Amino acid sequence: MLKITLKDGSLREVEPGATLAELAAGISRGLAKAAIAGRVNDKIRDLSYPLQEDVQVEIITQDTPEGLEVLRHSTAHLLAQAVQNLFPETKLGIGPAISSGFYYDFDSEHTFTPEDLTLIETEMKRLSKEAHPYIRRELSRSEALDYFQQRDESYKVELIEDLPEDVVISAYTQGEFTDLCAGPHVLATSSLKVFKLMNVAGAYWRGSEKNKMLQRIYGTAFVKAADLEDYLFKLEEAKRRDHRKLGQELDLFSLHEEGPGFPFFHPKGMILRNELENFWRIEHSKRGYQEIRTPIILHRELWERSGHWDHYQENMYFTQIDDEDYCVKPMNCPGGMIMYKTKLRSYRDLPMRIGELGLVHRHELSGVLHGLLRVRNFTQDDAHIFMLPSQINEEIIGVIDLVDDFYKVFGFAYHVELSTRPKDSMGADEDWETATQALRDALEAKGIDYQLNPGDGAFYGPKIDFHVRDSLDRTWQCGTIQLDFQMPEKFDLTYVGEDGQKHRPVMIHRVIYGSIERFIALLIEHYAGAFPTWLAPVQVRVLPISERHHDYAREVVRRLKEENIRAEADERREKVNYKIREAQTEKIPFALIVGDQEAEKQSVTVRRYGQSDSGNQMSVSDLARLVRQEIKEKSRQD
């Protein structure tokens, strides 16, 4: 009998050759029903996988991220089978699961239309009902090449040819369809019941513009129909909240052909920006940060010294001054290090917390530009902390606390990832190990659950990334903490220690917003343009009922502005109901109606955005006090 160690540490005995499905059934009927795959010694396997030795096993269920990924990957194969049934001359590219579902790339003379997607989806449902089992078989490299060459699947052949000679290759068959795949998959197509094809897009084979453009069909799949309905609802809601659409409607920013990827901020957008920056400055000042400003263009030698020339050159812009090469900065950190070196530092000066709202430029391909979310110039809310090695833990925890305080103000939940050394990196192994362990220790000291993200660190150090979750359950990477032993070495940064000798400081690179532009896009979509009062470009609009009430409306605006409230009057010759609708469309927090009664009582009738039952009357001073309180407390209308 084999001894199987389960996730909870308990032991099970099974006969050699028993499958993961049989193991799950032996544990409980409920687990067998929910099971979709299994993790065997840290490798995910099909439920049909036979156990041949003592191993550790975790049964993966449908309601886990890993289970959903298996379900979606299997649905991608179902899509490919349906497409080849309907369009037999189609050649197959690749079809992975992705965060929102799955896709498959096809090379076909036929151009797929929305009507085709409906037809393909119908065929997928038919194949699902036929309950074809997903059968795995392993092939040598030569066997795999021969198999897919016979079927004229040139893209699969290319993938196989890139694999090592001695690799064992797997293929999965369902019905009469076979695909090259490492797996795992569900037991049978009958497990795939809730799916929808979304759209078709073009995609270069293997992501290279030198290759042929294929047709990529996107789809999504879920375990429950209710989850699909919720996803489709949120997609429609996301379209309504699109920051590009709302940014134009609310007159916040614009994008122009004269500067692709270089956004123009309008007066109202600048108010929003300035409020975010003012909040940043106040909160950082409280925590001992000092603000600096460094140049946008710096000599090439600086970027060679920092490592950006070797590791980041393809993302940089260049110019010449006096026949010498200069770079437009893609990051703020080298300038901060030059500032550090302007004087001799003592251990008593550390930690030094230096912040910069620095404008950076990065060369992004035109195809990936997307509103304010992906631009070519943006302002990073950078800070660099120079510290003693003994201060690392305390400083990392301080940044974690600051990030948490910021995100609570905006109403964001978040999750944390720890990213480790990438292949393209610099520095000694022991420095990387020390830095990674320091980040891990700080997270564990705070009791924060985190996901390990191997190989995704910066080229100079490991990092903690904060992924905020918005009101539509989408996640966005914003804040980051990067621990760096390399840059102080590269720039020969030193401090004089208690022993009178020079020592090397350690530094933290960190952002909270990530970039002001991207954070604004996130806020627009999170709040659907209905900003909390403290952020709203116009906080109060006064709506006179008729022209004879204009003087009183101006008086109300004057009194509110004296309280530093952003107020304006709508003096257009329109009916007041029209003005109310306009204020609602522009998502202004407070609309104040003034007529004869209000002028006589020195009051206003208040309508709050999003509150249909509002319309109560209050004095101007009470209204000002309410607005000021909301601004001070940064309260939200959740």
Domain end, chosen from 61, 81, 102, is at: 61
What is the maximal distance between C-alpha atoms in the chain? 94
505 and 552 co-located in one domain? no
Element (H, E) at 320: strand 317-321
Q: Give the domain extent around 6.
A: 2-61
134 and 226 co-located in one domain? yes
Residue 16, preceding peptide bond in cis (omega within 30° of 0): no
Residue 637: pLDDT over 80: no
* Tokens representing residue 263 in the block: 């956004």
pLDDT on residue 164? 87
pLDDT bin (cut points 50, 70, 90) of residue 297 is very high
C-alpha–C-alpha distance, residues 533 and 560, integer Å: 14
User: Residue 337 belongs to a domain with what CATH number?
Assistant: 3.30.930.10
**pLDDT mean across residues, the chain:** 94
C-alpha–C-alpha distance, residues 482 and 110, integer Å: 49
Of 635, 571, 580, residue with least CA distance to 612: 580
Kindly report which listed range (234-243, 302-311, 339-348) carries the lowest average pLDDT score.
302-311
**DSSP symbol at 564:** T
pLDDT on residue 614? 66
% of the chain at pLDDT higher than 90 = 88
Q: What is the pLDDT of residues 443-463, one digit of tens each?
A: 999 999 999 999 989 888 999
267 and 345 co-located in one domain? yes
399 and 478 co-located in one domain? yes
* Tokens representing residue 596 in the block: 């004869």
User: Residue 574 belongs to a domain with what CATH number?
Assistant: 3.40.50.800
Contact between 29 and 4 under an 8 Å Cβ cutoff? The reply is: no
434 burial type by CB count under 10 A (0-12 exposed, 13-18 middle, 19+ buried)? middle
Contact between 365 and 301 under an 8 Å Cβ cutoff? The reply is: no
Angle formed at CA 398 by CA 393 and CA 392, multiple of 5 degrees? 20
Of 635, 633, 591, 634, residue with least CA distance to 612: 591
Of 204, 210, 185, residue with least CA distance to 76: 185
C-alpha–C-alpha distance, residues 325 and 455, integer Å: 32
pLDDT bin (cut points 50, 70, 90) of residue 139 is very high
426 and 336 co-located in one domain? yes
493 and 509 co-located in one domain? yes
Contact between 620 and 600 under an 8 Å Cβ cutoff? The reply is: no
Mean per-residue pLDDT for 406-427? 93
Place of tokens 């699902």: 128
Of 573, 559, 580, 554, residue with least CA distance to 622: 559
- pTM beyond 0.85: the answer is no
pLDDT on residue 1? 85
Give the count of beta carbons closer than 10 Å to the beta carbon of residue 35. Answer: 23
C-alpha–C-alpha distance, residues 494 and 482, integer Å: 19
Give the count of beta carbons closer than 10 Å to the beta carbon of residue 109. Answer: 7
Taking the alpha carbons of 105, 109, 115, 116 in that order, is the dihedral positive or negative? negative
Element (H, E) at 98: strand 97-98
pLDDT on residue 447? 95
Task: Please report whether residue 76 resides in a domain.
Answer: yes
User: Residue 140 belongs to a domain with what CATH number?
Assistant: 3.30.980.10
pLDDT on residue 638? 66
Residue 429: pLDDT over 90: no
% of the chain at pLDDT higher than 70 = 100
pLDDT bin (cut points 50, 70, 90) of residue 610 is confident
pLDDT on residue 64? 94
- The one-letter code for the residue type at 431 is D
pLDDT on residue 167? 84
**DSSP symbol at 370:** B
Residue 377: pLDDT over 80: yes
Task: Please report whether residue 123 resides in a domain.
Answer: yes
181 and 51 co-located in one domain? no
pLDDT bin (cut points 50, 70, 90) of residue 260 is very high
417 and 523 co-located in one domain? yes
Q: Which residues have a catalytic role annotated?
A: 333, 362, 380, 382, 384, 463, 509
Contact between 19 and 49 under an 8 Å Cβ cutoff? The reply is: yes
Q: What 3-state class would DSSP assign to 504?
A: coil
pLDDT on residue 537? 98
SS (H, E, C) 25-65: HHHCHHHHHHEEEEEECCEEECCCCECCCCEEEEEEECCCH
54 and 81 co-located in one domain? no
352-361 and 289-291: which strand pairing?
A: parallel
Ramachandran quadrant class, 9 (left: phi over 0; alpha: psi -120 to 50; beta: rest):
left
pLDDT on residue 613? 65
pLDDT bin (cut points 50, 70, 90) of residue 165 is confident
pLDDT on residue 36? 95
C-alpha–C-alpha distance, residues 396 and 314, integer Å: 31
Of 166, 163, 242, 232, residue with least CA distance to 195: 232
pLDDT on residue 311? 85
Residue 158: pLDDT over 80: yes
Taking the alpha carbons of 455, 456, 461, 467 in that order, is the dihedral positive or negative? negative
Task: Please report whether residue 485 resides in a domain.
Answer: yes
603-608 and 616-619: which strand pairing?
A: antiparallel
Tally of domains within the chain: 4
Residue 485: pLDDT over 70: yes
SS (H, E, C) 141-159: HHHHHHHHHHCCCHHHHHH
339 and 192 co-located in one domain? no
Domain end, chosen from 188, 204, 235, is at: 235
Task: Please report whether residue 534 resides in a domain.
Answer: no
C-alpha–C-alpha distance, residues 132 and 144, integer Å: 22
Residue 440: pLDDT over 90: yes
119 and 53 co-located in one domain? no
Give the count of beta carbons closer than 10 Å to the beta carbon of residue 198. Answer: 17
Domain end, chosen from 31, 61, 91, is at: 61
219 and 266 co-located in one domain? no
* Tokens representing residue 435 in the block: 């830095």
Residue 63: pLDDT over 80: yes
Task: Please report whether residue 303 resides in a domain.
Answer: no
Residue 424: pLDDT over 90: no
Task: Please report whether residue 248 resides in a domain.
Answer: no
Of 254, 241, 207, residue with least CA distance to 105: 207
Q: What is the pLDDT of residues 556-581, one digit of tens each?
A: 999 999 999 999 999 999 999 999 99
Task: Please report whether residue 316 resides in a domain.
Answer: no
Contact between 59 and 76 under an 8 Å Cβ cutoff? The reply is: no
Residue 351, preceding peptide bond in cis (omega within 30° of 0): yes
C-alpha–C-alpha distance, residues 198 and 69, integer Å: 17
Contact between 225 and 232 under an 8 Å Cβ cutoff? The reply is: no
Task: Please report whether residue 245 resides in a domain.
Answer: no
Place of tokens 């390990």: 452
pLDDT on residue 459? 84
User: Residue 55 belongs to a domain with what CATH number?
Assistant: 3.10.20.30
C-alpha–C-alpha distance, residues 598 and 542, integer Å: 12
C-alpha–C-alpha distance, residues 542 and 591, integer Å: 6
Residue 327: pLDDT over 80: yes
Task: Report CA-CA distances (Å) from 136 to 19, 133, 173, 272, 633.
Answer: 14, 10, 7, 56, 60
C-alpha–C-alpha distance, residues 511 and 379, integer Å: 11
